[in-house]
Amino acid sequence: MKVVILAGGLGTRLGEETDVHPKPMVEIGGRPILWHIMKMYSHYGYNDFVILLGYKGNLIKEFFANYFLYQGDVTIDLSNNQIEVHRNQSEPWKVTLLETGLKSQTGGRILRARDYLGDEDFMLTYGDGVSDIDIAALLAQHQQHDGLVTMTTVQPEARFGMVDPDSAGFIREFKEKPISDQAWINGGFMVCRSGVFDYIKEGDLTIFERLPLEELASDGKLLAYRHRGFWKCMDTLRDKIQLNQLWDQGKAPWKQWDELG
């Protein structure tokens, strides 16, 4: 089963970071967040990726084209234009990089991958979020139903501390940025059947999270996989700092793979 990753957005809320790099190439622990996402799927045996490019997609292409150079030691012989790679740390990945248009919306990008996916089910996620989600359990739930999309839903961390004053105004309990116990949101990490393409009706202009998902829900074809573990979307510089801190402290919950890196 292929893994489709949306990697074409502008990422404007990351400020200067995305003036230089596309959002999926912003680094966590010295590696692009895109690499972390792919390692998550690879841990569960999914190694065939389709990456949907847009803004500064050439930099993502260059990263994979030069992957051996980045990961291993090399000898470059300028006299005969040869490169020898030593102690290469490779990944078992097959990576298809699709140019899906600079201004395409998420649905339009997904639709452009149709010819590469055929009639098979496929994984779908965004190029800016990491989680300790059990991908195998997600797929198992998807296979138990006839819906077209199974979406991982998560409860986001509150932005501010929560207080509950008593009748006299005294705060008896304070929770710093608790996990919401009510709202569930789209956390990405979806499994889709090929029938989902029929819901993408406006070509490149289709925002997947609008009409397609709304119609899938109204037709009873959108299922929720509830994930109560770690989930973090790198939306802002603050998010990037927090993810780097977790990685540097050896406390990154999404790192389920064993090898160093």
Give domain limits for the chain. Answer: 2-73+84-152+184-248
C-alpha 216/C-alpha 228 separation (Å) is: 24
Closest CA to 12 of 237, 248, 206: 237
Q: Which residues have C-beta within 8 Å of that of residue 20, sequence separation ≥ 6?
A: none
Closest CA to 49 of 116, 107, 112, 102: 116
C-alpha 9/C-alpha 108 separation (Å) is: 12
Please give the pLDDT value at position 86.
76
C-alpha 127/C-alpha 3 separation (Å) is: 11
C-alpha 154/C-alpha 106 separation (Å) is: 20
Residue 256: pLDDT band with limits 50, 70, 90: very high
Kindly report, residue by residue over 72-83, the tens digit of the pLDDT. 788 888 988 888
Q: Is 254 helix (H, G, I), strand (E, B) or coil?
A: coil
Residue 161: pLDDT above 90? no
- The enclosing H or E element of 154 equals strand 149-154
Please give the pLDDT value at position 68.
78
pTM (whole model) above 0.75: yes
Kindly report, residue by residue over 103-122, the tens digit of the pLDDT. 999 999 999 999 999 899 99
Phi, psi dihedral angles at 199 (to 5 degrees) = -95, -5
112-136: average pLDDT: 96
Closest CA to 11 of 38, 41, 33: 33
Instruction: List the Cα angle 59/60/62 in 5-degree steps.
Output: 65
- Domain spanning 2-73+84-152+184-248, CATH architecture: Alpha-Beta Complex (3.90)
Asked if residue 134 lies in contact with residue 142, where contact means CB atoms within 8 angstroms, the answer is: no
